[in-house]
Structure 1
């Protein structure tokens, strides 16, 4: 399985790059890449890494709360496989299938993977909603204050 990782990455890149060139043209692709600043690219990368680590931690925490001992490495592999499965198939179904394949090695039954994934997705949605409401209230208050100061 470890030998397949680089192969899959190279395969996906060899599909994505020609697709981007076909849709944007070589010059359009290079122009789009030039528009992204280094700081934005680093910020996006760090945010994606943080999201993956947070999802793995949620999966591990909820699995252990449900009585299934999961190493962080297993949780990370499960989340990564779930992301790929979700990208290749319907999001939630692909995520469940890929996670169950990874967690089967850790002796976690499919029903437990479904329950843990549902709880993990709910926790993620609740956190996202809370952060969105905080952001909305913060930006709304700031825009009201700014408009009143300008008047």
Structure 2
């Protein structure tokens, strides 16, 4: 299993994508055809998105500690599911791992670091956009009234 965004990447938006490949090492002809189409995506991600074979995993568990002694999220997954998008996480380090029906681990552990943008940065961007919007509206109103006076 791996982050679709890349290994050891800090997530700044609070949402992330996990993918897990098939256990097959060979690529199908369909995957080989796509090999050159989407540069930048690894073959692991391509095989995760194209394969319909079943896997033993039934749950994706997410924990704040590496040994999964306290699971914060347990998400049911389908036996053919190969990717998931998750959102709503607060700042911190999270660990994700796939488990089967007997609660045995069937994947590696993925570490996800979430660091949201600071609220100061968010407010600055919002206020900049609001200011530009108000300037645009003001300009449009002044232009409309000028044309009415000239007519």
TM-score, structure 2 as length reference: 0.26
Which structure is higher in strand share?
A: 2
Which structure is higher in helix share?
A: 1
Which protein, 1 or 2, shows the higher relative CO under an 8 Å CA cutoff with sep ≥ 6? 2
